Structure 1
């Protein structure tokens, strides 16, 4: 069994602009990120903006967490919007055709789409 490294870490910040992920989103961090996204979807309203500018999707599990959040949000009458995705993330979304179902936007547009988060 391998040990955890700095690459296996992700931090998440939730604020009025959505959720910002920093670090590696993969098999080692999927459970924590999944739990955070589920809570945000279940307790919020409107679009959930997911800022990925400082995050790296490391594997299929990491991508699966985003897809699962999208599906859960749709069932709750909401939408996940990916903001400030890295060029690599945008290519991954296009290659998997997820760009057709999960909207992406630069930061300023994503905030305008989602609007302020109610207190």
Structure 2
């Protein structure tokens, strides 16, 4: 897993899973705490995530809300988009629409 960017936009790549969750959580929490406005997570380079990785995203979403910010997911891969719909998390998370 790799995350690059700053406190307003991060690109998440690789696998967001139980092995990378602690590092990802730390980076996301720092980005939320140190910034203002929307925090955009570009998931275009993300290969996969498991339940733990999804939990990290939800935790960052809750933390952003407590800080008066909004977590926005961008370029969510189709497989992960289907999981968000199946779990109904697409109703809770801000997801940028894919341009036609």
Task: Report how far residue 107 of structure 1 moved.
Answer: 7.5
Partner of 2:28: 37
> Matched residues in 1 for 2:96 and 2:3: separation?
19
Q: Which deviations, in whole Å up to 9, do the C-alpha atoms of 1:9-28 show, x marking residues without a partner?
A: x0111148600011000000
Q: What TM-score does the superposition give when structure 2 sets the normalisation length?
A: 0.91
Moved over 4 A (4+): none
Residue 27 (str. 1) matches residue 18 (str. 2): yes
In structure 1, stretches of 5+ residues that fail to align are: 1-9, 109-119
Task: Report how far residue 53 of structure 1 moved.
Answer: 1.1
> Matched residues in 1 for 2:8 and 2:98: separation?
9
Are 2:7 and 2:31, in contact at CA under 8 Å, matched by a contact in 1? no
- Where 1:71 maps in the other structure, the secondary structure is helix
Cα distance change on mapping 1:17 and 1:74 into 2, 3 Å: closer
Residue 74 (str. 1) matches residue 41 (str. 2): no
Q: What TM-score does the superposition give when structure 1 sets the normalisation length?
A: 0.77
Are 1:30 and 1:61, in contact at CA under 8 Å, matched by a contact in 2? yes
Please tell me the root mean square deviation across aligned C-alpha atoms, in Å: 1.8
Residue 52 (str. 1) matches residue 58 (str. 2): no
Partner of 2:82: 91
In structure 2, stretches of 5+ residues that fail to align are: none
